[in-house]
Chains A and B, each alone.
Chain A
């Protein structure tokens, strides 16, 4: 049985679409739905060829997109008052999967999904965005540009490595901190989406608010060169700070955790079985009401550099 996500959660659906064979078509591989689990059956039957729908387009071009669900009726995403980001995961030019993350923008739900792309001056500008009930923050963000190494998007770009940032409202490193503080944004994650090993397509930034988090825990895992196991290199757990020391000590080996699953398959993966997958943290996750996890590989050319994990 699929666990029911807390009704106040801003995330309405997470879908992971993967090619059934090289080049497609793309089928729903794993998913997490909140109160909208009735759509799962229909989605399981759906297939997307390359170039078809938002899944196929992202898979073909390697470009992520943010769209209103109202514009995706033909895609079969029947979620009112929601926006979806499609995130393709390109490995040596081949799409290993596409994640659709749909968030609810009903009154009171705060959160942001942003795509920062290089412009003709070599700066990152906001190319596509969804700011839910963050009018001022969203308004100003349109006018902001980040050169390489500046701000969360610029640092992610320079490092070609994902990064989690907490305390957005007070951080000197988050350059839109004042807006974040005013509007209650607490934690963010930046994920580089590379076209080739050296060429960035965009930086995906997910900004989570305390009251209606996109994810209560955000983690970045990378291979420890000594132990050859996955360790956390950047993470934030919001109010659930006692998860931090426990997580910090973890080294994931074969068969352990969402991150290893993603590393093994070289593809994104969503699960609601935190208890079964995230030993020994699963019990804590359930105790705190966490229900699902999403793991996303971070490819740089043919190399998988890190795994970004969202848990809520």
Chain B
């Protein structure tokens, strides 16, 4: 995981502290989409962020990229607080957004020209060719986007991002529009590159298996609004990753089960009782009478054990 084996990896390379993103609401208080998001990433680490649609995963990523203003909190990468986009952070979105009048080579060269302005033309050419080859497009360098499949276009997008030699790579559902075979292929392409380059990487994904296969740890987000980190799961799989070895790991299904359960738990269909409980500020402010009323309003048959336990929380609002 360490990009420089002779130097210890910075355990706090990326520090996201108490991050808040709020949008104005003409009818009341601002809506806090993300509220109190904390995450620390080790240098060279790959972290997947998973959560339900609309929970704020991409909002977090765009704030880290510097493309979305932070309402409160802070983000530091490599010890420097970010205040906007920069070449130290490269982003790959779901759609590669290539310039249609440029070839694959020219699309990648676009960024390389700016970041390696001090290099010779030959050096820049070699960099572009190296990264196009790394994503398996050595033979398609002169193709235009219209001549390439979605998967090939996304490969160009990945080469374009990594050719900038960013200190941090941000992948926003990069395989979301691809078929499963292409998706698996591209996952391996990215992992191969990350194993060589050791770039600290944040991946936004909906796919539990993808999160497990690609990352060193998974960050599970609670549902929005007021989304934050629910819990983090460290993954014990060695890198470089081997798909078969991961699938056969004795803990694979346990870890997968934990992630799926978390997502199920965070499902939008919150039972009325729990919803009231949450709005009341969790157990500390839930009044016994309110809890009993909630139970009486239930139309469905009530599970005896659940009733016993769900109505036991007593609070006085401390």
Contacts and interface: CB of A to CB of B under 8 A. Distances in A.
10 contacts: A121-B11, A121-B42, A136-B254, A143-B233, A143-B236, A161-B318, A175-B230, A233-B314, A233-B317, A236-B314
A145 B232 contact: yes
Contacts of A161: 318
Interface string B227-238: 011111111100
A175 B284 contact: no
Interface in A111-168: 120-123, 136, 139-140, 143-151, 155, 161, 163-167
Interface size of B as a range: 35 or more
Given A140-B255, A187-B309, A244 B229 contact: no
Given A121-B11, A121-B42, A222-B318, A238 B312 contact: yes
B178 interface: no
Interface of B: 11-12, 36, 38-40, 42, 217, 220, 228-236, 251, 254-255, 257-258, 261-262, 264-266, 270, 274, 278, 282-284, 288, 305-306, 308-318
Contacts of A90: none
Given A143-B233, A150-B228, A175-B231, A166 B316 contact: no
B111 to A, nearest CB: 31
A120 B308 CA distance: 40
A247 interface: yes
Given A120-B12, A150-B228, A175-B265, 6 more contacts: A121-B11, A121-B12, A150-B229, A178-B258, A178-B262, A232-B314
Contacts of B233: 143-145
Contact of B314 (A148, A165, A244): A244
Contacts of B228: 149-150
Given A143-B236, A172-B270, A179-B261, A244 B284 contact: no
Contacts of B306: 167, 170
Interface residues of A, number: 51
Contact of A177 (B12, B254, B261): B261
B12 A178 contact: no
Nearest to A186: B309
Contacts of B318: 161, 222, 233-234
Contacts of B264: 178
Contacts of B311: 241, 244
Interface in A245-259: 245, 247-248
Closest 8 CB pairs of A and B: A178-B261, A121-B40, A145-B232, A167-B309, A147-B38, A236-B312, A233-B318, A235-B314
Given A231-B316, A234-B313, A239-B308, A146 B231 contact: yes
B308 A151 contact: no
Contacts of B288: 244-245, 248
A244 B312 CA distance: 6
A175 B234 contact: no
Contacts of B232: 123, 144-147
B235 A143 contact: yes
B314 to A, nearest CB: 4
Nearest to B278: A172
Interface in A170-197: 170-173, 175-179, 186-187
B266 A234 contact: no
A233 B255 contact: no
A140 B310 CA distance: 25
B314 A248 contact: yes
A202 B74 CA distance: 26
Nearest to A139: B254
Given A165-B283, A234-B284, A123 B230 contact: no
A186 B265 CA distance: 16
- Among B254, B261, B264, B314, residue most surrounded by chain A Cβ atoms (within 10 Å): B314
A241 B308 contact: yes
A167 B254 contact: no
A210 interface: yes
Contact of A238 (B217, B231, B308, B317): B308
A120 B11 contact: yes
A241 B308 CA distance: 6
A167 B230 CA distance: 18
A70 interface: no
A307 to B, nearest CB: 12
B296 to A, nearest CB: 14
Contact of A233 (B38, B265, B309, B315): B315
Interface in A205-258: 210, 222, 224, 231-239, 241, 244-245, 247-248
